[in-house]
Structure 1
Amino acid sequence: MYKRAMRLLAAAPCAVTALACTVQPLAAREQEAVQGPTQVRTFDIPAGNLASALDEFGHQAGVQILYPYAQAARLRSPGLHGRMRARAALDALLRGQPLAVARFEASLVVLRPAPAGKLAPPPAPPRITPPAPRPAAPPPVTPPEDIVVTGRAVNAPLLRSELSYALTDIDHGTVMREGAVSTAALFQQIPGFWVEASGGEASNNVRARGIPTDGYSSVAILEDGLPVQYDGGLGYLNTDQVFRTDASVERAEAVRGGPSAVFVPNAPGGSVNFLTRNPLKHPGVDLSMTGGSFGYARIDGYAGVRLGPNLGLGLGGFYRTDAGPRDPGYNADRGGQLRASLAYDDGRLKIDANVKHLDDRVILYLPVPLQFGANGRVEPIHGFDPLRDTLAGPDNVHVAFLTPQGPQDFDLSQGTTSRITFYSLSARLALGSRSAIELRTRLRTGTTRRSGLFPIGRPTTAEDYIASAMGRLRAAWPDTTAARIQYADDGAAFTNASNGNGLVVGANLMAVQMPLREGMADARFTTAFELAGHHDLAIGTTFDAMDMKFDRQTGTVLLDVRGQARRLDVLALDSAGQVLGALTDNGFVRYGSLYNSATLNSRNVAIYGADEWKLAPDWRLDFGARWEHVRIGGGTEETTTVDLGDAATLADDAVLTGTGVIDPVGKSYSGLSWTLAANYRPAPGVGTFARFTRTLRLPAPTDFTDNAQGTDLAPVPITMAEAGLTLERRSWNLTAVAFRSHFARLPFTDYRFDTASNAYIEQTSIADTTTWGLELSGQARLAGPLRLDWQATLQDPRYHNFRYTQLDENGNGSPEDADGHQLIRVPRLSLRASPSLDLFGGKMTFAMDFLRFSQRFSDVVNTQRLPAYSMINARIRAALPNRFELSVQFSNITNSLGLTEGNPRVGSFDAGGSTGYFLARPEFARAARMTLAWRY
């Protein structure tokens, strides 16, 4: 059924193109051969709705036009016919209308509401100009600014310099280029975000402004203003596992810190809102095909058509397959997404509905073996390429887990498989010219399954491993005098020549299944009024109901260190060389080394309000508050160990399994968040702001999967302050934001896997963190066609009051103090410089990205260093005839061995220093992708 849907998706663009061609006027397709706002064109726009007229203008002028749609849809427009320049045609359409031009460029036009009392004179017949071009007027010193509505509870448009928070725009091209790699890779465009995108297309980590939590527990992913997942920090279920970008996404807007902590749940670090294409505003067809390194192949499509003046239909999605940048010996990623949307807008009532189905399987890349050389530099281990190899391989596909209920199949090739359906509906009803009621709802159903190979401990020689196991072997078989390691599948002896290094390493084969059903709704009332200045007011409520099941089983295996590692067995031998028994069974050191089964639910309700108060033309004050309450219920199954009774092996002596006894979960938490900000514009194109926020992070349902009591769980208070400067000039712009983030009473858990007992040892420390930082970003048009985009983040993230007990192999503890140490995995300095060269009137672009990240640490006590590294990426884009476009993208051109994270399973408090063998997750090897796109 899904393959049939994908074939329909591939055919849909052609069908909708034919439909679009029959309903578009012939003159609308008579494009001039030469592009540009100064060129004379033929316009044929009938009288009618102004929004329709503006869209038709953009189509006939060959530009993208952005404007306040709801306002324009209520207005009438005169007809426009004849040959004239694009600017003259637009001025004619806007005469007498309450809209003004904010930006007019070769490919982009932006409109904004006209200032009161400055409307253009009534419509007059447009003057038809002769075809000879006239010199263009010189550009103003300070250009018009973009209109921004994202990141606030109200929809009143603001200029960028009027904002009291930091905003990053991500255009459609960047969403398509970087989002196809992973959602996390797309977030690398955002200052202040430290992104670990080395896990593959999903299951990556994002940290914002030094906030010390992983996954998406502090950064929210939104789609059309509503969270994709209410709590992005659910254990083993990051939001990016169920979210993919495709051609139906118009653009993304990222709010860093600021009001996202109040108006978006679980988002103290920021929120990224993906705005989908509206078929009424953006009809047309997009089709693209991508091929690249490692067998990468992808097709994206979108088709939008107007079914009537107020009704539009959209269809889009993607399908992708690839072998993976680190070859596991099987197809790493395969699947896709399909979305259908319906839009209605009559100027007073606006309704958007869409259904999206994700059926995708992606591999999860985990740490790989490495070594610290004599000079302290990170080096590959002989026989293992850390850029291209992975321990995952065919030897761990369809392996039998032994359980008290019988054998269960473990299939590593399934990776992270998500089959999820989203049903979304949003509506806005205008109540006069100043008030409105807005409603957004989303229902999600489906299941995510994860099968992963999680390395544990450190690589070690076979001899050292045998020495460490002899005590257990002699205790079980007293006549043991020696031991032998051999391959589990064919019994061949393991030697140094077997894999080129003679090293072995432990790993957990983990299977997690998480069916989840979630429904959320956000309703708000917005209005504007005058009282000692102008106020834009919003009052709203949010409700979320989530029900989930969490099942996890793990078996610990012994592997050789090679790409596509193989399982090993360890046998006990007597003095005659006869086998007495085995430490392992089919490569398993322990069956059932981890087991969890829980049924959980949560109910969140929030009430919020916001007031944006314009005191004077250049002064604004913003207030916002949110009270939220969560109730978490359900139950967690208690566990016990079972001996499966095979006397020939130790692997089945202590299998963790459920008892059938359910330990109930029943917790409630609540708290108040608030924010206060001021903005001052001393001059056109110049904006300054300051903001103070007090918020909190409430516990998540998956905090109780193995701890029904949750005695150490409580709301985490968060205090954030920021101050920013925005400068907009004709040839350059600059944004600078200084920030401070403070977390109080945050629980940190050291979830270390002990290779002696083959069990997790857990300890928690409650501590504080403080981060001071500075974000810089800007763009400059240099000489001729040369442009430079750049961003930098400088921060100092530190632990405070961090004390814990370090346990040795005998269980003896010693107190440790990590006060003042640098937060793990976060660089103090991140730099990105992107020069680009536009040639042939913008028909061809060459661009490069130069990235630099300072050193980090993989543990709290800062003993294991992750060295600084640099990367270089490049891309080429060329516009071809007949609406085609060709682009080529190169990543990590120099094959930089940059480590994004260590291995938390060896200990996140103390990883054991920067010597010898270790495990870490590096960036991917050099790769190239080529995309051919066609747009109508």
Structure 2
Amino acid sequence: MKVARFSNCVSALALVTALAAGAPAVAQQAPTQQAEPDGLEVVIVTASGGNRTQINSSVSVTTVNAQAIADFKPSSESELLRMIPGIQVAGTAGPGGNSNIAVRGLPVATGGSPFVQIQEDGLPTVLFGDIQFGNNDYWTRFDASVANVEGVRGGSASTYASQAPGAVINYISNTGAQKGGYVQLNTGLGFDENRLDFRYGSPISDQTRFHIGGFVKKGAGPLDPGYDVSNSYQIKGNLTHDFADDKGFFRVLFKIADTQEPNYTGSPALATISGKKVSNIKAFPGFDGRKNSNYSVYNKDFLIFNRDGVLERVAMDGITTKATALGGQLRYNINDNWSVDNNFRWTDMSGGFASPFLNVTTRASIIGSTISRPGLPNATVASIRYAAGPRAGQTFTDTYVDNNVNVRTNIRDIGSTANDFKLTGKYDTGFGALTARVGYFYMKQDIAMDWHVNKSLREVNGNNPSQLDLFDAAGNKLTQEGISGYNNNWGDCCARDYDLSYTNTAPYIALELDAEKFALDGSVRFESVKARGTTVAGGSEFLVNSGGVQIATIRANGARERLGYTRDYTSWSVGALYKVNEDTSLFVRSSKGGRFNGDRQTVSGKINADGSLTQAGRTASVDFVNQDELGLKNRGDLLGGRYTLELTLLQGDFKQSTFELSATRCPGGAGGCVIDAKYESSGAEAYATYRNGPLSVIGNATYSNAKISRPTSTGGSGPFTRAPGIPDLSFTVAANYDLNDKITLGVSSTGQTSSIDDAGREYPGAAILNATAKYQIRDNIELSLSAYNLFNKFDLRGNGGVADPTVNPTVISGNPALGRTVTAAIRYTF
């Protein structure tokens, strides 16, 4: 069946090639305009040898420059990633992160981005993309210091990077080759948020240059919780010295970041459900997810039972990060044939995750339920009262409540040391240029955390919801500040404390032959990951006196697991490129990339008492992704303008074994389960640009036929069915038009077709429209106005679940895109 699908891909690509070859003939009817440098002429530096332009490389790669990103005005880091074809992410998690980043129809089984690596200047910010409560989108922020974002999907991502068989996304810094910079102040219109972006770079001498840039941000944000949940700054800089006689360069880089941003955990909504089809989705009365969240001034701090065994009050401050990073890059050309590259970075990094998760249930289901009190009789809930706010102490009578967790995870240490070394030799064989490359990658990743997941109850209200307290029939208080349990929301799995380290070493070899009309390449990577450290799970429940109320509590003093194992595996990739002409190339590629399961492998029953892996653990410790690709890259003249087109047809499959800590996907709704499944996908991804005088357009689209096979009750593989959370088609397009030398207007849209949830319910697709207007007051002063989701579309991208099927319309939950959000900015360029 896979062969048949790939044959269809070949046929489709042949048709597109024929059309592309004919495009220049159409353009010849119009006056020829001089070709400007385009994205296909950019030299790829991500997950590659760094010596090929895009059009002459046999990989799927896209470069998005800083201006295109600024014109698009993404609402979050994850929505920025929607500008890269093949990357499938809802873009609704908010500025703090915690997105589920899928790629090429390879779904995310639990959370994070297991097959996608995010890099800054060629090195990963964290080794694993799906660290529990530490996803890789926490640690990177697009700001004015970034020159462009480059995304390599499949192919060489398997062999030029570790833990990234799906994709590598690289934030590449501006290095100050040209003197200048800007300061820009952004402010929210109708909401409290201010952000200052700045950058400046310049040559210091003929051989030395520098660049520095960053941002400062503060405010309550568009989903106003009544307090400043955004409070961030980041500064990045570098100093480059170029060696004489084009011998290379040496660069020193630094980064200092202290960020605090909210993550959005969803909202209730109303919908019509007929069978498995969900339609007519609209906002829930009193809680509109386009403009509300369940952050609240009445829950901006809360109590946890900490790792020292005492109650501690902590801030509900979203996702916080603190990072100090120092790095160095060296390129030295030994002679005409040999060169050395080395990229090093040391990072001291920590943070936290504090968020009120959302789950809508009925008040009636709470009344009459029991509260666990170890050593005492269980208590029966007879009434609910407001715990804070203007109605504190009054009886709560609403139909629905939010009974999900107040979570606080302390990320004590997530620092790392990374180094990537390459030795490259180039020779002319007479048949073509032969390049041999030998490299060695090293990264030590520390992960130390303690989890605190409190059982919590609050009202379903988008305007500063109050926590809710429970009482028995005698009027005795059963909860404290809306908390009925410390560290026990998902059972003893998740009152966790661990201190782990993973050391990844990987020698790799690559060969390339570049002839006049074709190029061949192959690469192999030999991974070895050493896991060390300890994990402690929760023990038995006991009672803690919290303000006179006995609260059931779990502490991380249960089963102790010691890690002491090493896992070796191999990844490979081979590709071929045919140069049709200087404006068209075709490529084919096949790859097998491995991805190591890090901290999600712990507390899963797959590690022996001596620290080694069980046989099941050994099988599950590495997930392999197989991919086949067929691609076209083309550029030319069209209707008086210039276009570029990148199209890749692909198919892939993988298996994944991962730990799910919540009840999100666990059978029966229990927390703490291992999910083993197989996936396969076929589809296409496209990226195109067009420039014609004052008009510029960029766009991408990703089509996926993604399927999942879940294990049966007997342990076998079930049938392949449609994978949840992956739309058939997702797209992003942006266009700008210079009316004159003073005014520029822009529109952009991002959207997707329908997707299903874990129960197979199909949620409709949608698209939102954004608009921008810029006015050049003077040559160096620009005013701009940007509207995100101009028509205030209720776009429920992160489909959730059914909260109450007994009413019409049905109460559901999910993650909608932000509603209409308008910002103004003034930029001074110098």
Q: TM-score range by the shorter chain?
A: 0.7 to 0.9
Query: Which amino acid in the other structure matches residue 437 of structure 1?
Result: V
1:729 aligns with 2:641: no
Equivalent in 669, 683, 707 of residue 798 of structure 1: 707
1:466 aligns with 2:466: no
Looking at structure 2, the residues matched to 491 and 404 of structure 1 have their Cα atoms a distance apart, in angstroms, of: 31
1:400-419 aligned at under 5 Å gives the runs 400-402=303-305, 407-419=310-322
Equivalent in 660, 672, 675 of residue 570 of structure 2: 672
Which residue does the alignment assign to 1:600? 500
Which residue does the alignment assign to 2:285? 382
Query: Which amino acid in the other structure matches residue 527 of structure 2?
Result: E
Which residue does the alignment assign to 2:822? 928
Query: Which amino acid in the other structure matches residue 300 of structure 1?
Result: D
Looking at structure 1, the residues matched to 635 and 199 of structure 2 have their Cα atoms a distance apart, in angstroms, of: 34
Which residue does the alignment assign to 1:494? 395
| C-alpha distance 873-254 of structure 1, shift in aligned 2 (>3 A) | same
Equivalent in 528, 552, 556 of residue 658 of structure 1: 556
Question: Do 1:317 and 1:337's aligned partners in 2 also have CA atoms closer than 8 Å?
Answer: yes
Which residue does the alignment assign to 1:239? 136
Which residue does the alignment assign to 2:301? 398
Look up the SS of the partner of 2:289 in the other structure. Answer: coil
| C-alpha distance 406-235 of structure 1, shift in aligned 2 (>3 A) | closer
Residue-by-residue CA offset, 1:45-77 (whole Å, 9 max, x unaligned): xxxxxxxxxxxxxxxxxxxxxxxxxxxxxxxxx
| C-alpha distance 314-483 of structure 1, shift in aligned 2 (>3 A) | same
Give how far 1:626 is off. Answer: 0.6
Q: Which runs of 5+ in 1 are unaligned?
A: 1-135, 806-814
Which residue does the alignment assign to 1:206? 101
- For these two proteins, the number of residue pairs brought into alignment is 765
Which residue does the alignment assign to 2:678? 768
Equivalent in 291, 296, 299 of residue 187 of structure 2: 291
Equivalent in 238, 241, 251 of residue 344 of structure 1: 241
Which residue does the alignment assign to 1:38? none
Question: Do 1:167 and 1:253's aligned partners in 2 also have CA atoms closer than 8 Å?
Answer: yes
Looking at structure 2, the residues matched to 222 and 727 of structure 1 have their Cα atoms a distance apart, in angstroms, of: 28
Farther off after superposition, 483-492 or 332-341: 483-492
Query: Which amino acid in the other structure matches residue 304 of structure 1?
Result: G
Looking at structure 2, the residues matched to 691 and 371 of structure 1 have their Cα atoms a distance apart, in angstroms, of: 46
Look up the SS of the partner of 1:895 in the other structure. Answer: coil
Which residue does the alignment assign to 2:627? 720
Which residue does the alignment assign to 1:37? none
1:848 aligns with 2:753: no
Which residue does the alignment assign to 1:533? 432
Equivalent in 463, 471, 484 of residue 383 of structure 2: 484
Identity %: 21
Which residue does the alignment assign to 2:327? 424
| C-alpha distance 179-361 of structure 1, shift in aligned 2 (>3 A) | farther
Residue-by-residue CA offset, 1:455-479 (whole Å, 9 max, x unaligned): 24x321x233214449999x9479x
Give how far 1:750 is off. Answer: 5.2
Looking at structure 1, the residues matched to 331 and 236 of structure 2 have their Cα atoms a distance apart, in angstroms, of: 22
Query: Which amino acid in the other structure matches residue 513 of structure 2?
Result: W
Looking at structure 1, the residues matched to 626 and 307 of structure 2 have their Cα atoms a distance apart, in angstroms, of: 49
Looking at structure 1, the residues matched to 694 and 539 of structure 2 have their Cα atoms a distance apart, in angstroms, of: 69
State the TM-score, normalizing by the size of structure 2. Answer: 0.85
Residue-by-residue CA offset, 1:849-877 (whole Å, 9 max, x unaligned): 23331111221x41x33321121111223
| C-alpha distance 418-471 of structure 1, shift in aligned 2 (>3 A) | closer
1:363-382 aligned at under 5 Å gives the runs 363-373=262-272, 376=278, 377-382=280-285
Which residue does the alignment assign to 2:341? 438
Residue-by-residue CA offset, 1:284-340 (whole Å, 9 max, x unaligned): 232211112422211112222333222223322211112122121211211201223
Equivalent in 444, 451, 461 of residue 354 of structure 2: 451
Equivalent in 81, 85, 94 of residue 187 of structure 1: 81
Which residue does the alignment assign to 1:196? 90
Give how far 1:903 is off. Answer: 4.5
Residue-by-residue CA offset, 1:583-642 (whole Å, 9 max, x unaligned): 43332222221411111011110011112212x311111111111100101011243124
Q: Which runs of 5+ in 2 are unaligned?
A: 1-29, 489-493, 608-612
Give how far 1:234 is off. Answer: 1.4
Question: Do 1:602 and 1:701's aligned partners in 2 also have CA atoms closer than 8 Å?
Answer: no
| C-alpha distance 585-739 of structure 1, shift in aligned 2 (>3 A) | same
Query: Which amino acid in the other structure matches residue 578 of structure 2?
Result: Y
Which residue does the alignment assign to 2:407? 510
Give how far 1:390 is off. Answer: 1.2
| C-alpha distance 821-363 of structure 1, shift in aligned 2 (>3 A) | same
Query: Which amino acid in the other structure matches residue 286 of structure 1?
Result: Y
Which residue does the alignment assign to 1:885? 782
Question: Do 2:600 and 2:658's aligned partners in 1 also have CA atoms closer than 8 Å?
Answer: no
Looking at structure 1, the residues matched to 400 and 144 of structure 2 have their Cα atoms a distance apart, in angstroms, of: 46
Looking at structure 1, the residues matched to 112 and 737 of structure 2 have their Cα atoms a distance apart, in angstroms, of: 36
1:12-411 aligned at under 5 Å gives the runs 138-139=32-33, 146-158=41-53, 160-176=54-70, 181-201=75-95, 202-213=97-108, 214-279=111-176, 281-293=177-189, 294-346=191-243, 347-373=246-272, 376=278, 377-402=280-305, 407-411=310-314
Looking at structure 2, the residues matched to 689 and 879 of structure 1 have their Cα atoms a distance apart, in angstroms, of: 43
Question: Do 1:775 and 1:791's aligned partners in 2 also have CA atoms closer than 8 Å?
Answer: yes
Looking at structure 1, the residues matched to 465 and 577 of structure 2 have their Cα atoms a distance apart, in angstroms, of: 58
Farther off after superposition, 401-410 or 771-780: 401-410
1:742 aligns with 2:649: no
Query: Which amino acid in the other structure matches residue 645 of structure 2?
Result: L
Looking at structure 1, the residues matched to 594 and 568 of structure 2 have their Cα atoms a distance apart, in angstroms, of: 9
Query: Which amino acid in the other structure matches residue 621 of structure 2?
Result: A
Give how far 1:914 is off. Answer: 11
Give how far 1:802 is off. Answer: 3.7
Which residue does the alignment assign to 2:727? 827
Query: Which amino acid in the other structure matches residue 426 of structure 2?
Result: A
Which residue does the alignment assign to 1:18? none
| C-alpha distance 495-548 of structure 1, shift in aligned 2 (>3 A) | closer
| C-alpha distance 319-451 of structure 1, shift in aligned 2 (>3 A) | same
Question: Do 1:884 and 1:933's aligned partners in 2 also have CA atoms closer than 8 Å?
Answer: yes
Residue-by-residue CA offset, 1:432-470 (whole Å, 9 max, x unaligned): 1232111100000031111111224x321x233214449
Q: Which has the higher contact order (CA 8 A, sep 6+)?
A: 2
Look up the SS of the partner of 2:472 in the other structure. Answer: strand
Query: Which amino acid in the other structure matches residue 298 of structure 1?
Result: R
State the TM-score, normalizing by the size of structure 1. Answer: 0.76
Query: Which amino acid in the other structure matches residue 324 of structure 2?
Result: T
| C-alpha distance 143-359 of structure 1, shift in aligned 2 (>3 A) | closer
Which residue does the alignment assign to 1:634? 533
Looking at structure 2, the residues matched to 816 and 571 of structure 1 have their Cα atoms a distance apart, in angstroms, of: 48
